[in-house]
């Protein structure tokens, strides 16, 4: 079985143009079977997401913020070090985290985290059903609602905690979902995706023919993409990966039109919030609301009811573009000449 696993791994990370040179006849005999399985897997992926979108499959939501740390490919991508980094940081700023891990492969990663995080308020829940695991910890320890702090408050708390001036609570305030990108049955507030700079996408095929758990388009769900092992490759390679990620940034725009000087009513806000929830469910990302400056000035308090969605205000100003020798200065000169001719200046 180990030999088969190594062969599949070699196929997954061998570019198609290098197959004839590096793969054996036995490797080639496996490719048709792997290709069929990969095709079937590719059909199943969007169906699963669609079932969650339609509500036919249930998505659990925890009463605390959830940070998911995941990846698109199998193998080492730095997920566990990132989970540990987040846990130590959150504990330091006074938000005791709960790590939710499935305990795959003899729970070796969970054991490592337990050893590294001993003596901290970090809790580690192990189990394939992360929602049930979280429920057990909620029942046992309870949770605290996340508090909003100013930057100065945050910096002070971080500084104090580093000096050991913080008393920790058994209640947890944030959940960290280890290897969570494909665990879509649990709602997450922040999606962090790790990418291995040394072997980012393999042969670009879905498992088992390739290393991809999902197509690269799934990166559009990420709030943060972290390139792991960036110091092990050239800057050119890192920039190539970053460029590929940027190309996948979502650009969908949903539009609502109101009449000029429209006065927003409660029903309008309800309708907008419903639209935002539907967009968030469809694209698995939190939408950003953009309103005109006039809309904001007319109803700043009403627009605050769109929380937790971010509301950006679009401000506009006039810019005169040069055309056929005409410039902003020539326009001003023309205005001045007309003013002079009217004997008003």
pLDDT digits (tens, 9 = 90+) for 24-40: 999 999 999 999 999 99
- The rounded distance, in Å, linking the Cα atoms of 62 and 42 is 29
Pairing of the two strands 97-101 and 123-126: parallel
- The rounded distance, in Å, linking the Cα atoms of 331 and 321 is 10
Domains and their CATH numbers in the chain: 66-247 (3.40.50), 253-345 (no CATH)
Distant-in-sequence, close-in-space partners of 209: CB < 8 Å, separation ≥ 6: 11, 12, 31, 34, 35, 37, 38, 203
Confidence check: pLDDT of 168 > 60: no
173 neighbors 146 (Cβ within 8 angstroms): yes
pLDDT of residue 247: 84
Q: Residue 254, preceding bond cis, omega within 30 degrees? A: no
Query: How many other CB atoms are found less than 10 A from the CB of residue 123?
Result: 19
- Residue located via tokens 């498992």: 207
125 neighbors 97 (Cβ within 8 angstroms): no
DSSP conformation letters of 113-146: HHHHTTTSS-EEEE-S-HHHHHHHHHHHH-B---
For the segment 265-308, what is each residue's pLDDT rounded down to a tens digit? 889 889 999 999 888 877 767 888 998 888 888 888 877 888 88
- Please state the separation of Cα 206 from the chain's center in Å: 21
For the segment 229-276, what is each residue's pLDDT rounded down to a tens digit? 999 999 999 999 999 998 887 677 888 888 888 888 889 889 999 999
State the pLDDT confidence band at 343, using cuts at 50, 70 and 90: low
Partner residues linked to 311 by β-bridges: 289
What number of H helices and E strands is found in the chain?
A: 12, 8
Average pLDDT over residues 170-181: 92
């Amino acid at each position: 079985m180990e030999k088969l696993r190594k062969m599949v791994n070699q196929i997954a990370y061998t570019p198609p143009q290098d197959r004839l040179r590096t793969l054996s006849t036995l490797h080639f005999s496996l490719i048709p079977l792997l290709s069929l399985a990969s095709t079937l897997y590719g059909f199943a992926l969007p169906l699963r997401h669609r079932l969650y979108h339609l509500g036919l499959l249930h998505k659990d939501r925890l009463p605390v913020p959830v940070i998911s740390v995941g990846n698109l490919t199998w193998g080492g991508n730095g997920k566990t070090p990132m989970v540990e980094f987040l846990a130590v940081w959150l504990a330091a700023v006074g938000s005791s985290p709960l790590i939710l891990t499935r305990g795959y492969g003899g729970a070796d990663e969970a054991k490592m985290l337990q050893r590294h995080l001993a003596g901290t308020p970090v809790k580690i829940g192990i189990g394939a059903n992360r929602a049930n695991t979280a429920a057990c910890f909620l029942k046992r320890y309870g949770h605290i609602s996340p508090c909003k702090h100013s930057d100065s408050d945050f910096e002070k708390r971080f500084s104090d905690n580093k000096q050991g001036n913080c008393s920790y609570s058994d209640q947890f305030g944030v959940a960290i979902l280890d290897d969570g990108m494909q665990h879509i049955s649990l709602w997450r507030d922040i999606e962090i995706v790790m990418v291995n700079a040394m072997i980012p996408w393999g042969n670009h095929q879905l498992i088992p023919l390739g290393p991809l758990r999902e197509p690269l388009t799934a990166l559009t769900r990420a709030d943060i993409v972290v390139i792991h092992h960036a110091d092990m490759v050239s800057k050119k390679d890192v920039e190539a990966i970053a460029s590929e990620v940027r190309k996948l940034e979502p650009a969908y725009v949903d539009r609502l039109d109101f009449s000029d000087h429209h006065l927003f009513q409660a029903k309008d806000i309800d309708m907008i919030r419903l639209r935002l929830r539907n967009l968030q469910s469809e694209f698995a990302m939190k939408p950003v609301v953009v309103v005109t400056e006039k809309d904001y000035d007319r109803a700043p308090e009403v627009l605050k009811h769109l929380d937790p969605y971010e509301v950006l205000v679009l401000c506009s100003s006039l810019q005169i573009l040069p055309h056929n020798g005409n410039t902003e200065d020539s326009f001003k000169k023309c205005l001045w000449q007309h003013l002079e001719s009217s004997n008003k200046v």
